[in-house]
């Protein structure tokens, strides 16, 4: 018998987020997966067709409702819970969208949730990090119970396109609560690569000293490398960089090809966010900084001298 898997799509109304393609890859690891992607949107056509093109997807359900113009957890959870009945697994990404909505769905379905799935061992057995990634636990769901989970996106490659699944538009029967209203989002408009999907990331810490120095020192280098910019919590707390750039246990978990940690000490909470980076470069004036324990290439010295030189060499 096949395992029927429902994936809750993440999108901004026009583009399917890459996190959804990673959920598809995770779901493909479940034996005999039959994958359905649910797209909640005001007008789902564009996003549904992107989901339908992902290899491995058998069917797309487009749930169209005016309340879906901005995805709110209470509204999305009500719609997904209403159609989750026949599914064995309900998965979403471990992004702020998925972290917000998936536990709400789980509670409506009276199911336990497995957060941050990093590996699939069987249809009921999964591995996930705990204690900021300092331990990995293998968990087993009760036989016959629904599996609710969020997928640690840094652990899976995006499923390729090339498929052409049918798109259905079932009637939305759920009662959508009106107690929560979207007011605004300050989307940092940036033509830089997206931190979560970038192949290269240039990241700065407290050592940068000011917002001006953070910009002046790192953005030129990031441009030369076509890299996204990231930051430590200390840099964000101090106002050198906006919150969406924070990398770590309580920020973004990323897996770029190349990560440059510049003036970052390497606290465990920060390292949690970069464990899956292929190559880590550390630039720090303290040769004892813990970041050097995980760096593939370490350079001890003053970043304010090294970075301009690095930029020159890359020109």
Partner 1 sequence: MASGMKRILVGIKRVVDYNVRIRVKPDASGVITDGVKMSVNPFDEIALEEALRIKERGAAEEVIVATIGPADCQQQLRTCLAMGADRALHVQADGIVEPLVAARALLKLTEREQPFLVILGKQAIDDDNSQTGQMLAALWQRPQATFASKVQLDGATPEGQPRLARVTREVDAGLETLEVELPAVITTDLRLNEPRYVKLPDIMKAKKKPLETLTLAALGVEQRQRLKLVRFDPPAQRQKGIKVKDAAELVAALKSKGLL
Ligand X SMILES: Cc1cc2nc3c(=O)[nH]c(=O)nc-3n(C[C@H](O)[C@H](O)[C@H](O)COP(=O)(O)OP(=O)(O)OC[C@H]3O[C@@H](n4cnc5c(N)ncnc54)[C@H](O)[C@@H]3O)c2cc1C
Contacting partner 1 within 44-73 (CB under 8 A): 72-73
253 near ligand X, rule: CB under 6 A: no
* Shortest distance (Å) from residue 50 CB to ligand X: 30
Of 7-15, 148-156, 180-188, 284-292, the window that binds ligand X (rule: CB under 6 A) is 284-292
233 near ligand X, rule: CB under 6 A: yes
Choose, by CB under 6 A, the member of 154, 201, 289, 310 that binds ligand X.
289
17 near ligand X, rule: CB under 6 A: no
CA separation (Å) from 102 to 196, 275, 312? 20, 24, 47
230 near ligand X, rule: CB under 6 A: no
234 near ligand X, rule: CB under 6 A: yes
- Phi, psi angle pair for 247, to nearest 5°: -110, 135
d(CA 127, CA 134): 13
d(CA 5, CA 76): 17
Nearer to ligand X, 88 or 284 (CB): 284
279 near partner 1, rule: CB under 8 A: yes
Contacting ligand X within 151-210 (CB under 6 A): 205-207
Of 34-42, 49-57, 76-84, 227-235, the window that binds ligand X (rule: CB under 6 A) is 227-235
Is residue 173 within 8 Å of 82, Cβ to Cβ?
A: yes
The secondary structure element, H or E, covering residue 82 is: helix 73-83
* Shortest distance (Å) from residue 74 CB to ligand X: 27
| Partner from ligand X, partner 1, none binding residue 196, C-beta < 5-8 Å depending on class | partner 1
- Phi, psi angle pair for 219, to nearest 5°: -70, -35
Token pair 């700065």: residue: 204
Instruction: Let me know if 309 is exposed, middle or buried by CB neighbors in 10 A (0-12, 13-18, 19+).
Output: exposed
d(CA 305, CA 315): 16
Nearer to partner 1, 24 or 310 (CB): 310
Of 20-28, 82-90, 159-167, 294-302, the window that binds partner 1 (rule: CB under 8 A) is 294-302
Nearer to partner 1, 52 or 151 (CB): 151
Residues in the chain, total: 315
| 57 closest CA partner among 40, 25, 35, 38 | 35
Nearer to ligand X, 21 or 198 (CB): 198
50 near ligand X, rule: CB under 6 A: no
Is residue 118 within 8 Å of 24, Cβ to Cβ?
A: no
Q: Which residues bind ligand X (CB under 6 A)?
A: 205-207, 232-235, 246-251, 263-265, 267, 269-270, 273, 284-286, 289, 302-304
């Amino acid at each position: 018998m096949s395992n029927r898997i429902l994936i809750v799509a993440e999108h901004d109304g026009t583009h399917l987020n890459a996190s959804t393609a990673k959920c598809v890859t995770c779901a493909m690891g479940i034996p005999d997966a039959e994958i359905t992607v649910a797209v909640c949107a005001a007008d789902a056509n564009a996003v549904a067709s992107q989901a339908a093109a992902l290899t491995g997807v058998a069917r797309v359900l487009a749930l169209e409702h005016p309340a879906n113009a901005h995805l709110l957890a209470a509204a999305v959870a009500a719609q997904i819970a209403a159609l989750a009945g026949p599914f064995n697994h309900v998965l979403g990404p471990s992004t702020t969208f998925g972290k917000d909505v998936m536990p709400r769905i789980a509670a409506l379905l009276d199911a336990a949730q497995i957060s941050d799935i990093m590996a699939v061992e069987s249809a009921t057995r999964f591995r996930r990090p705990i204690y900021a990634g300092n331990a990995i636990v293998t968990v087993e769901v009760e036989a016959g119970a629904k599996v609710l989970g969020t997928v640690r996106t840094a652990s899976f490659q995006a499923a390729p396109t090339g498929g052409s699944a049918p798109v259905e538009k079932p009637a939305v029967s759920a009662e959508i609560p009106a107690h929560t209203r979207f007011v605004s989002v300050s989307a940092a408009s940036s033509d830089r690569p997206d931190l979560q999907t970038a192949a290269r990331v240039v990241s700065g810490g407290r050592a940068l000293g000011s917002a001006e120095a953070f910009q002046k020192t790192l953005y030129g280098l990031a441009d030369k490398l076509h890299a996204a910019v990231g930051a430590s919590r200390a840099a964000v707390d101090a106002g050198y960089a906006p919150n969406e750039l924070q990398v770590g246990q309580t920020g973004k978990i990323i897996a770029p090809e190349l990560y440059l940690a510049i003036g970052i000490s390497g606290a465990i909470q920060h390292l949690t966010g970069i464990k899956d980076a292929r190559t880590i470069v550390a630039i720090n004036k303290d040769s004892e900084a813990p970041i050097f324990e995980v760096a593939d290439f370490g350079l001890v010295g003053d970043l304010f001298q090294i970075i301009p030189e690095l930029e020159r060499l890359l020109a």
